[in-house]
Structure 1
Amino acid sequence: MRWNLVLGVSLLSSLKVHGLIRFGCSQLVTERFDPLVTPGKVSPHVHQVVGGNAFNLTMDPANDLQALSTCTTCRFKEDKSNYWTATLYFKHPNGSFIRVNQMANHNTGPGLQSGGMTIYYFQPTGKFSIFPKGFRMTVGNAQRRSGSSKPANGPERSLSFRCFGSDPYNMGDGTPGSGSTDSFDLPKQPCAGGIRSNIYFPTCWDGKNTDSPDHQSHVAAPAGGPMAAGCPSTHPVVIPQLFMEIVWDTRPFNDKALWPKDGSQPFVFSMGDPYGFGQHADYVFGWEGDSLKRAMDQCTSGTGIPWDCKALTLQDVDTMNQCRQPVKVEEPVEAQWLPQLPGCNPIQSGPSPATVVSNCAAASTTLTFAPSPTVAPVVVTPPWTVCNANGNGAGGIEPNCNAYPGPTTAKGFEATPAPTVTPL
C-alpha cells in the first residue's frame, strides 16, 4: 500500500521539533458543555469531548483531574486531560440537521476507536517547559464568520481542513494547513474520503499564568505560524506543540443531489457556522504526575506509534471505547435528524461576527436525577486501514495490528465501502 507520510520522521527537523507522541482518543460525550467559556452554565452550542471522565460543567483549576478521573478515552492511561471541539452537522435540503460521525484516523490502530480525535504532542528542539497543573487554553473564535481560504503564513494558519480524495492511502501533501487539498474554510466540493480538521494550539507561554480571561492571552503562536521556531518576548517560554486531527465521515453526504443548488457546501458547525472559519478547540491539562515530561524526554523515535513510547502505559481500544460519560443536558444532539441545531444556533453567514441569541428557549439546566449512561457512538469503519496486519510498515509509522496484547474486537484492517444516507 502507498502512504504519503505527512508527519513522518523525515520532516521532524524541518518542523523544528525533536520527536512526537501521537495517539487516538475515543468519544467521551457529546453535549452542550464548555467549562472554560461558560463555566457552570449549559453552553450555547454542542461540543464533542475526549479524555478523562472528570470532565464537567465546571472544572476548577485546582482540581486534580488524574485523581478525579476513573478512566480515559485516550490510548495512554496517564492522559486524563480533556480536549474538545465544536461538532459538525449536515444540513439536508429540507432544512433538517444530523450530526456527522467521526472515524478513526490513519495509523491509530490496532482497533477502531469510537469517534473522537487524534492527539499529537511534538517535542520542541532546545529548552522547553511542560504544561503546569491547572493549565488550560483555547484556540479559534466560535463567532468568526469570515477569513481567507488561503491566508498568509502566520498564526491564522492554526485551523484548517483537509479534503481526502478517493485514494484512502494518500493522506495529502504537505504539513496540515499547507497542502494542495487544504483550506481554511470547509471544502466546497465533496470529499470522497471525508474531511479532516487540523488544529494547532499555540506553543509560546508567558511562563506565569495557567489561564487568562479569554483563555488565549497567556499563550501565543510564533510569528511564523504553527510549528515555527521563535517566541515573542511577551511569551518567552516554549511549550510542546499540541495538535489535533478530527476526521469527519462526510462520505454519506457526497451525493450532489443533497447539496445546495447555489453552489455552497452543506456542512455547518454546531454554533451555526456554515463556513468553518469559527472552528475552535479547548484543552485542559490533566496528565498524571510527570508522565508527559517523561514522554517528551524519552519518546523521540519520531514514529509517533504509542507502543514505541515505553515511558507511558497503553490501553486497548475496547477499554478506550468503554470510557463514556452520561449526558447531563436532556436534549437530542446526535444519531437522529433534528429540526434545528441544538441550543439556539441559527445559521449566521456573516461576514460580521455571529451573535448569541437572547431569550433562548433551549434546555439551559442539567438533569437533577442520575442520568443514564451514554449510548455508545457508532464505530465507523474508515476507508483506510488503521494498522498493518503484517507488521510495522510505511517507514515505521504504520502500527502492527498484533503489537498490542489485549482485546480489540474491531482490528481495523478491513476497509469497507462508504455508507449511504437514509432518505427522510
Structure 2
Amino acid sequence: MVRNKPVTVAVAAVAVLVLATSVVLYGTSSAGQYVSELDQVAQEPETASFVVRCGTNEDRHLNADNPVVSPGIPFGAHHTHEYVGNKSADARSTNDSLAAAPTTCERDDRSTYYWPVLRLTDGTGPDAHAEGGGVHGNTGEVLPPKSVEIRYEGSPVSAVLPMPRFLRLITGDPAAFTGGYGPNTRARWGCSDQPGRYTTKYPLCGSATTVRTYDFGSCWDGNNTDSASHRTHVVFPLAGGACPQKTFPIPRLRVTVGYDVPEGRPFAIDSFPEEMRDPATDHAMFINAMPEALMTELTGHLNGAR
C-alpha cells in the first residue's frame, strides 16, 4: 500500500493539471464539455456506399433559418447553419424553389444538407450583434469546414428502396441539454487519428482533424415525406440493421464534417440560447432534391453490391 501512494498522488496531480489547463483554455463554465479521450466505440456493419461530392461551402452559404423545422420563419433556428448542396436553401424554400436552384453538388444533386456552425469562441464574428449570432448567445468566429463527405449507405440485411423526392429529415436533438439527453441525442464527435471512436462532448484532438458525424434514419413509413415531429416518418433501424414493422429500408445518409481547430483554442457549436452550446445538441437536417435518375442509380449501386 505504501508503494502505491506516490503513484496515486502523481496521477491526482496530473488530473488537477489537466483540469486547470481546461479551465484556462475553455472557461470554468464549459471545462467539463471538453475531453481528451474518446470513450465510445462505433459498431459499423459493412455495407455498400455511394458518395456525392458537394464541396465544403466555399461560397459561405450561412443563415439562421431552418427550412425543415421552421419553414417560412426567418431566423427561426436562433442559431446559424452551414449548408452544402442547394444554394437557395433558406426559410422561404419550397419544393419548387429547391428544384429550380443551382447546387454545389456534383451530378445536379440539388439536395440541402446543413448543420450548426462551429465557432472559435475566443474571437469575434461579423454577426456579433445579429440574430442567430450574438443576439442569441452564439458568439465567436465561424470556422469553415476542412472537409465534408456526403455518403449514402445500404442496409446490412436487405435491399433498399429509393428515397422519395423532397423527403425531409433531421438527426440529433437540438434541445438535448434541456431535455436531459434523451433518445434523440445522436451527437458524434471524433478525431481523425482515432477512427471508430467518438464522444458526445467536444474532443481535444490536438493536431488531428476534429470530426462531426451525422447518421440519419433509414426506415421510411412508405407514405410521407415529412411528419409533425420531422422524425416519425423515417426512424432508425433496430439493433442488427432490420427496420421496425411497417417501415421500409431506404439509403442511410451519413454526413461527415472535418475541421482544423487550432490547438489550444476554445470552440463550440451554435445552439438555442437555453442549450448553452452543449456539444450533445449537435444535429443536422436534409431535404432530398436529388434527380430521380441519380437516386435510381444510387439505389441500384447499393443493392447491386449486396
TM value normalised by structure 2: 0.70
Structure 2 equivalent of residue 332 of structure 1: none
Which residue number in structure 1 is paired with residue 187 of structure 2? 159
Q: Which residue of 1 aligns with 2:150?
A: 119
Residue 135, structure 1, aligned to residue 167, structure 2:
yes
Of the candidates 129, 140, 152, which is equivalent to residue 97 of structure 1?
140
Contact persistence 1:49–1:85 (CA under 8 A):
yes
Equivalent of residue 247 in structure 1, options 228, 253, 258: 258
**Which contiguous aligned blocks of 4+ residues in structure 1 show a shift greater than 6 angstroms?**
146-149, 299-302
Aligned to 1:23: 53
> d(CA) in 1 for partners of 2:252 and 2:160?
10
The residue number in structure 2 matching 1:186 is: 202
Q: Is the 8 A contact 1:159 1:200 kept in 2?
A: no
Question: Residue deviations 1:192-220, cap 9 Å, x none?
Answer: 22311011000111111110012111111
Which sits farther off after the overlay, 239-248 or 139-148? 139-148
Q: Secondary structure at the match of 2:190?
A: strand
Residue 359 of structure 1 is matched in structure 2 by none
Q: Conserved in 1, the CA contact under 8 Å of 2:161 and 2:299? A: no
Structure 2: runs of 5+ lacking an equivalent: 1-43, 125-136
Structure 2 vs 1, CA of residues 78 and 85 (structure 1 numbering), >3 Å: closer, same or farther? same
> How far apart in 2 are the matches of 1:99 and 1:300?
39
Distance 1:301 1:24 in 2: 24
Question: Are positions 1:56 and 2:75 aligned together?
Answer: no
Q: Deviation per CA, 1:246-287: give whole Å up to 9, x if none.
A: 112212xx23xx55xxxxxx4242435433111111100001
- Give the distance between the partners of 1:93 and 1:65, measured in 2 at CA: 34
SS at match of 1:77: helix
Counterpart of 1:269, as a letter, is D
2:241 to 229, 249, 258: 229
In the TM superposition, 1:266-415 aligns within 5 A as 266-272=267-273, 273-298=276-301
CA distance in 1, matches of 2:107, 2:123: 43
CA distance in 1, matches of 2:49, 2:91: 35
Q: Does the CA contact (< 8 Å) of 2:145 and 2:260 recur in 1? A: yes
Contact 1:21/1:299 (8 A) holds in 2: no
The normalised TM-score by structure 1 is 0.51
Q: Distance in 2 between matches of 1:18 and 1:49?
A: 26
Aligned-residue Cα RMSD (Å) equals 3.0
